[in-house]
Structure 1
């Protein structure tokens, strides 16, 4: 027996199967590759019957073949007659190559059952053989074992059989060197065993391949192999022997020798990254057929997964199947294997010699009804039309259920206006199921909140093994959220504006700064240069009726200009009017009048505070006097609703560094001030930024050293309580190129 095929990356099951069905099985290394997609030269005939999905062929005889498949955590063994009739077998079983015998394995007991009659033929108990015998192969009605030589690390090969009287006969195989160590065995029908072993000649390590005649228990041919190629496959026909070598541990080499000679022909290294124990090779006619098993479930692409026929006379290669499990030799000289093609899907295939040396032919014996290419069982696509991220709980949900696990699934979203994109992947590297959920949290890279507006999306499921085409869906939607008070770039997150020494205005997303990794660079949105022309500026929130926040700026002649937010930048300025140089403080962002529109507050040089009610179109109604005595403050900041009463509020810092809260009454006036606390004189600027941390309460941003060494940007999160309206949180240290101009 050869090792059965692995189910790709399902290594726990694969190794368990290998040990269960292969006597003396060796631990298999992880599969690292997958085949290229091909269609096969399969016959057009329909399969005669069906078999369950996941069926793998273990051995083949004249009247049927032995299979196994995973059933939960167990393995189910079934003998399938050539007419499709299944016989389920309980317990653990193995096959006897080229016969209708299946072997029941019960500890040290091995019972051979003729599947054509259901009767037991022979039985062996290795515990009664004497010494320590390890089962190597089941050959016809014989048992091949290896036995350690006492006092050495060498091994002897033994054939255990029954004589005419039914007595157990133990024969040591002759023609083997002393102290040989088994590396790999393969069966070539009931009478021939291929045995690969390590030994030493004159102190020089050597690896050979022996052809063992089982009935006579003799080595009848020996071939030198290159390198120390553990676990690499072998195969034989009546005229040739083939094996893989891996002398440079890079790419495997296929070696072929005639059985009536010793000359070896070797191919150039084959492309691929083959895991040695999963290679399988057999010979039919003048063709060597080989594959790297497990391609159907592999998670990487490897050209060796393709089942390829290679002419031993011309070197021509012909693709047969997209992938397959172990290649099992049948008594009629054909091969049986579990595999798949893009045109006929998964099932049990027969590979037969072509007439007069022509290409081997492929026919589908039994189908599982499962496609070889990647297919979709269920899908949840991204939205179409307008998608409100707030109403969706801040997440966009999509996903696929596919016909297999080994797929690479992505969802790429592209913001049309900026070209900025994000790629969403499932939350695991190696999926445990065929479900691939895709959840977008509304963020670009570096935790930057995505912009509102038009998006295109492409959802792709690519076969991880490279077999077949990718599945792709595409579409578009418009992302929207509720307008935020201080959202300059229209991404549903509060921003602060900063003017550099050279007059460049940039916005910084506070949501990004809250989520970023420690030490990560801040993603600045550069708005433009020339802003040193203004001596007063304030971000006002939505003055003009668009979702993005707006800005007003006063030039040095006293003219006030309106900049309507367009997302990421501003529309060309509009003149509001002159005479604004009477004011030394401007602040906006609070709805002081309670009409749903943000207003502008201005303190003149005599200490009188004035209200300029917003009209919702970027202009203001005539000003209204709020009151005098405001000259004692060196900073004013409209914060929006801090205490939950509904109207916009105001904070003011006096020259002693004490911060005061003025609660809006909703009629254009404020309640009596309440003291927030002292020490606020350490900051160069304070800006009401709306709800930056997403808790539903308005916050305050502060810039300056704050008592530390380096200047920093701090966020004072709103508490919703008028007596203690803020709690501090450091957002980021920033460079000294920041001026004390924060808006």
Structure 2
């Protein structure tokens, strides 16, 4: 039974119809992709040797021979086709012309006087009814061998008249005849010359009825959940009811197309067409019920029974597996299929094309908005070797390559970019995509240019009302809205503008700006008498290079322009820079309006009139490879390069320049990525803190790009004096009311903007910030109680203890010391050690901490010290051993570097005449974010100062950090 047409679509991947072809110039031509949507091929009737159908892309109705595949257009169009036959209409004439569509022979029959043709027929006969009262009689009027015979077929006595034909084949027809109970369905058997009521009492307006070779079947018009069948040779039998399988697609199926072959019912639910559920599967279920068999994932809803009892249907697994197929079922066997004729796919209509750093992406245009707008991508090597096409999404537009091996596309909800692992990055502001560069994407909408950041999707790091803008790396290049004809850049990280460049001061408004490396393309459209013109500003030379005005795209050292008259692509080579005349040549053949230039690579691509994609190499010498953006996300480092690298090496170093780890970066497009596990090459775990990375990327031409930066390692062991699990140090204060507080530098800028505190501490305690004693990676806080007991409080990483926090007792008798502190590990055993300064003698002791978390025997390292203050500073010399500072009474500051054996080296001066007004000097660890320990001082007015550590035992000039710090105790 035929029903309203619907498309069946490709559920997964699609590939080009043939291999890419390269010519002697290096140009590669990709065959047109198969359209995602297969062509509609609707079977209308099936004969013994062929079938009648219409096919998208072909005019008229075609008869196709099964064996040869040859087709002809059926003219004039036939009516009421079945079994390879059709009626050639002759308006106003009672003569019925029956055409054999395979042989094109015509049989003409004129019904006898008093008889009217019912519109049922065979290849040599017509079924008529006599217009009479009383018993109703049908007539089979046959023409054979020049003779016309009339076989009467009496109707049952309850029949009072003829109403119409429901369905027919060459062996009989289902009519609806008038009775006292209404119009009811009856089966006419031509060979037996009989008429029998079927499906007694059925309302013909609520069901569809069909014929197979052995059965008559009926099912509801809407929401069919079952099929009733009766044998054709026993039409009065009680119908067998067979439940139907549900639609495979997740959609309600209001109607279905159904046919019967052998002992099986074929069903194709006609679901609502959407891009996520474009059609339903062709299924088969045995008459009487049983497990459904899925024959094909997608099928057209036109199931047509052939004279041999098989069923013809157009179905397949994709647009490239689309075919008219014959479904048949031998007795006791499951249905099988065979291909009658392949239906070739239509070429995809390419709407958008993008090429970036070895990724070729396109999206196809589909006229029906309910169907997919698929987005595809391919990998393209530097030698233009093209990989297989893969589908990115079934529904997207405006695809663009990001230059990092990823693509982005537009939806009604914003921008989507699939990433590794099957997940996607989403941006939610809508607008036309102008350019993409790694993590950033530039868009335009409603008079605004704006940038979205895939790494920070809730932000808009750039917005402007400028008339023209472009994006390269982390910089947006725009026409200065306040100085038309001038161009400036905006750094998305530093959030600063550069000075204006006067590319065309006479232009009222620039119509376009594009940026690639040292090159800045601009154009000025004809407005207010200004002549159309364009140029490329050489950022290195600070001068313009004149180029032809038109539809253009900028590459590295060249410009590709499409000739408006011929469609040819013209290449202008200016790689030698300003001062050398540019050279323009015809670059490629006629292109449609769909073409692109790889800003990160050395090629261009365009679509021709046959929807083939041409990849054309550019022989212009490239600029040296360069880093144009870099970012860290936790332990992952990503560097965006100006073009793809052949290799990239990354080193991670401590703040003193010691290389800790060397790794090979993963390359994707023009980006280099590496994830550090926070360990050295030997596997030693490193603490939280700031580390320096260095990337060396080398291109195929031997040029290298070197870029450096810092990474904040977190999630590891606590850094020196780190109580915020941030890798930054902290300062401890105590109030007279018993509040003990850790002050953090939340912004790594030398200020204290975060705190964590607890109350209830007794008067007279001394807090001693300490390292990890018990091996859990978290810093303990030592507290000397008023009675001299020393406790190690263990709150866990990122937590601050209270008096109720669990602790370990480390001993008693510590009241003899006027100062307790920890500069870190002093003997090289990997555990922090304690330094104690005697109040009575001025002797200095090192008390080592064992690996079991207990204190060892104290060791005298200095006698009779008379300094105003001693300061534990951590490691300021870069040897992984803790160091001390000594502040004398004349205002000088000295370094006592740890020797790695539990003692200190001879002192060395740091500052002379540093001042005597500080009542507190504390080494707080790194609070400026560079990984080097810093020094904090408080003067008599309560003002806090920071001397940032410079490494190698020195400090920079002081910086004011805070005021009003009048705490009772600071450590």
- Do these two structures clear the TM 0.5 threshold for a shared fold by scoring above it? no
Higher helix share: 1
Of the two, which has the highest radius of gyration?
2
TM-score by length of 1: 0.38
> What is the TM-score with the length of structure 2 in the denominator?
0.30
Q: Which has the higher contact order (CA 8 A, sep 6+)?
A: 1
